[in-house]
Amino acid sequence: MALQTIVQTVARTLAEEMVRDDAVVLLGEDVGKRGGVFLATEGLFDRFGPDRVIDTPLSEAAIIGAAIGMAVHGMRPVAEIQFADYVFPGFDQLVSQAAKLRYRSGGGFSAPMVVRMPAGGGVAGGHHHSQNPESHFVHTPGLQVVYPSTPSDTRGLLRSAVRGQDPVVFMEPKRLYRAVKEELPDDDATIPIGQARLRREGDDVVLISYGASMAETLKAADALAAQGVSADVIDLRSLLPWDQDLVLERVARVGRVVVISEAPRTLSFASEVAATIAEEALDLLEAPPVRVTGFDVPYPYAQDRAYLPGPDRILHAVQRVLDY
């Protein structure tokens, strides 16, 4: 058993997958000698060499395009985008080419590749280093989208992503990179993409979140417990596909739900979850679903923490559904 942070888990899991499969290669800006801007690939260049840990030019289009070419020819590339905000120069390659490859070729080709990207705010990074662009990718059939919040989930899901047959957008909550630690066993377990995790059980309200917002959601659940209110807490972990069965089962049992996401409110993934609940479980609800999200503004620098859906905003939303 080893006590590890999320960022340490990323480096360890990538190393394990590179040992397990010679087809796994890493590429991205500064992933080599430096080990990445967050040190998520620290030590891998010295261990595996420049042919498998590849420093690239500052071109996201080239990084993702090269990864697609590698994947089509039998390799399993893991591409790093230094910040999720910088993925857009390579967006067309990912959503127009990688995501469509299996469909366009009638199953003749696939793109077994992973695009890792640190995402989210709360680190005083301003609007170019703090965004949550997951909805852009969830809206793209052919991609899988993952956004864990713990070291153990990061490990199991990253293994599944690297070993899969389709392109995976693997979003990592950089605010939690070194804020969460877990004991990880020495095993080879994977977590299926599309399977949520019930982090806490309760009878009064269901709280649903993912990524860095899970930390704020659990703080809110602790505060509710101190007030005598018990909350189910669901960590979605995967956004495409997402675990509708678990969500609908728990919401039907409790009847009140709050969905939390850092992304801007309009067309956020929280909106998709809330709409699905309203469509599939309306007669079982005691109150309408409520969303707690970021705001429909560019991510601010000066008001970084005010933008995020913290415990106070979550508690206010819970009170709304309890009072309905």
| pLDDT of 250 | 97
Same domain, 75 and 174: yes
Strand, helix or coil at 27?
strand
Are 151 and 5 within 8 A, CB to CB? Answer: yes
Interval 264-323: pLDDT, tens: 999 999 999 999 999 999 999 999 999 999 999 999 988 888 899 999 999 999 999 999
Which residues neighbour 295 within 8 Å (Cβ) at sequence distance 6 or greater?
Answer: 264, 265, 307
Same domain, 38 and 116: yes
User: What are the residue numbers of the active site?
Assistant: 129
Answer yes or no: is pLDDT of 199 > 90.
Answer: yes
| pLDDT of 67 | 98
Residue 190 lies in a domain: no
Distance (Å, whole) CA 209 – CA 220: 12
Count CA atoms within 13 Å of residue 153 on its CB side.
27
Same domain, 168 and 298: no
Count CA atoms within 13 Å of residue 233 on its CB side.
19
Residue 119 lies in a domain: yes
- The CATH number covering residue 26 comes to 3.40.50.970
Strand, helix or coil at 207?
strand
Residue 233 lies in a domain: yes
> Per-residue pLDDT averaged across 43-54, rounded?
97
Same domain, 129 and 278: no
Strand, helix or coil at 219?
helix
| pLDDT of 6 | 97
> Per-residue pLDDT averaged across 151-177, rounded?
97
Interval 205-253: pLDDT, tens: 999 999 999 999 999 999 999 999 999 999 999 999 999 999 999 999 9
Measured over the CA atoms of residue 292, residue 297, residue 299 and residue 304, the dihedral's sign is: negative
Distances (CA, A) of 136 to 12, 145, 212, 230: 29, 10, 18, 34
Same domain, 34 and 78: yes
Domain count, the chain: 2
CA neighbor of 259 nearest in space, from 232, 238, 283, 279: 232
Looking at 158, 184, 210, which one is the last position of a domain? Answer: 184
> Per-residue pLDDT averaged across 107-132, rounded?
91
Residue 191 lies in a domain: no
Amino acid in the structure at residue 122:
G
Answer yes or no: is pLDDT of 163 > 90.
Answer: yes
| pLDDT of 305 | 83
Same domain, 103 and 215: no
Are 37 and 28 within 8 A, CB to CB? Answer: no
Same domain, 11 and 129: yes
Looking at 184, 209, 226, which one is the last position of a domain? Answer: 184
Place of tokens 């695009």: 115
Same domain, 133 and 219: no
185 band by pLDDT with thresholds 50, 70 and 90: confident
Residue 92 lies in a domain: yes
DSSP class of 273? H
Same domain, 224 and 279: yes
Distance (Å, whole) CA 33 – CA 44: 8
Distance (Å, whole) CA 290 – CA 251: 12
Average pLDDT, the chain: 96
Same domain, 18 and 115: yes
Looking at 153, 184, 215, which one is the last position of a domain? Answer: 184
Identify the helix (H) or strand (E) that includes residue 269.
Answer: helix 269-281
Same domain, 58 and 206: no
Same domain, 299 and 216: yes
Residue 125 lies in a domain: yes
68 band by pLDDT with thresholds 50, 70 and 90: very high
* Domain ranges, residue 277: 197-323
Residue 192 lies in a domain: no
Could you tell me how far CA 225 lies from the centroid of its own chain? 27
| DSSP assignment string, 137-179 | HHTSTT-EEE---SHHHHHHHHHHHHHSSS-EEEEEEGGGTTT
Percentages (nearest 5) of helix, strand, coil residues in the chain: 40, 20, 40
Place of tokens 């309905």: 324
Count CA atoms within 13 Å of residue 193 on its CB side.
23
Residue 189 lies in a domain: no
In this prediction the pTM is 0.96
Strand, helix or coil at 2?
strand
- The CATH number covering residue 249 comes to 3.40.50.920
